[in-house]
């Protein structure tokens, strides 16, 4: 019998307002809840959703496979770890192909050299969601490689509109290039302080 993974079961959590929740069920869950959590801005929520996705058969497995291309590296790593123990030949084939892809260093360098809006967004997202020393150093290095007009404009956007850590790294980018007029404007608008902008 074909199982309907979108229909809530007794142990599922249910999206509010979608269907009547079975007794003892929590609101916001099931496969639709997993899909929503996979788009959550908090990285731990996305990783937890990947683990839960595997409870939903082929549909859930497909969600985990898609996560191999997530723009956040930690989510990719979590998806890879979950799939590594799967026996299905197709999964092993996908993992083999995935392992031949570039590693994080190469991927970030390639993004910086291309310097498109989406490339800078990906670098800045990884900076925001993974503040480990290794990631911060890698982002600092790769941002320094951005030389396209589009890339510089996008880094400027983060200087004025990013989170605190994104503004800090955008300021470093312009400081190292000696572009002081942008830094003065950022100080004037309260995006960064004078020490960040002009200290040696």
- Look up the pTM and report it: 0.65
Provide the number of structural domains found in the chain. 2
Beta-bridged to residue 66, according to DSSP, are: none
Q: Output 185-191 pairs: Cβ under 8 A, ≥24 positions apart.
A: 186/159, 186/160, 189/160, 191/159, 191/160, 191/167
Give strand pairing partners of 14: 27
The model's pLDDT over 66-105, given as tens digits with 9 standing for 90+, comes to: 999 888 888 988 999 899 888 889 898 888 887 766 678 8
The SS3 call for residue 104 is helix
- 3-state DSSP percent of the chain in helix, strand and coil, to 5: 65, 0, 30
Q: 138 and 91: one domain? A: no
Range 4-34 burial, b when 16+ CB lie within 10 A, else e = ebeebeeebbbbeeeeebeeebeeebbbbbb
Which pLDDT value is given to residue 70?
A: 87
Looking at 22-26, 74-78, 156-160, which range is the least confident one? 22-26
How confident is the model at residue 22, as a pLDDT? Answer: 47
Verify that 74 and 137 share a domain, yes or no. no
Q: Decide if 81 is inside a domain.
A: yes
Q: Which residues contact 95 (CB under 8 A, 6 or more apart)?
A: 80, 83, 84
Residue 179 is assigned to a structural domain of this protein? yes
Of 83, 99, 115, which marks where a domain is finished?
A: 99
- With 80 as the cut, is the pLDDT of residue 130 above it? yes
Q: Do 124 and 160 fall into the same domain?
A: yes
Query: CA separation (Å) from 44 to 39, 103, 122, 167, 181?
Result: 11, 22, 17, 23, 39
71 neighbors 119 (Cβ within 8 angstroms): no
Tokens standing for residue 88 = 């299905």
Is there a single domain that holds both residue 88 and residue 126? no
Give the pLDDT confidence score for residue 102 in this predicted structure.
Answer: 60
| 112 and 79 share one domain | no
Q: Examine residue 8 and state whether it is found in any structural domain, yes or no.
A: no
On whether both 190 and 110 belong to a single domain, the answer is: yes
Domain boundary among 99, 125, 141: 99
Residue carrying structure tokens 């190292």? 176
72 and 130 co-located in one domain: no
pLDDT number for residue 178: 94
The answer to which of 11-25, 40-54, 56-70, 143-157 has the lowest mean pLDDT is 11-25
């Amino acid at each position: 019998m074909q199982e309907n993974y979108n229909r809530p079961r007794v142990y599922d959590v249910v999206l509010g307002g979608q269907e009547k929740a079975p007794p003892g069920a929590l609101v916001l869950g099931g496969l639709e809840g997993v899909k929503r959590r996979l788009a959550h801005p908090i990285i731990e929520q996305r990783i937890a959703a990947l683990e839960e996705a595997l409870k939903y058969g082929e549909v859930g497995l497909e969600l985990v496979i898609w996560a191999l291309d997530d723009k956040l590296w930690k989510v990719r790593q979590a998806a890879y770890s979950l799939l590594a123990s799967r026996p299905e030949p197709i999964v092993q084939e996908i993992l083999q192909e995935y392992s031949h892809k570039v590693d994080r260093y190469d991927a970030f360098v390639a993004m910086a050299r291309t310097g498109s809006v989406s490339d800078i967004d990906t670098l800045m997202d990884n900076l925001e969601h993974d503040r480990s020393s290794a990631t911060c150093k890698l982002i600092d290095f790769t941002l320094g490689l951005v030389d396209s007009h589009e890339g510089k404009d996008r880094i400027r956007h983060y200087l004025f509109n990013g989170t605190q850590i994104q503004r800090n790294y955008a300021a470093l980018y312009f400081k190292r290039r000696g572009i002081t007029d942008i830094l003065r404007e950022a100080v004037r608008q309260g995006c960064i302080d004078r020490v960040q902008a002009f200290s040696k």
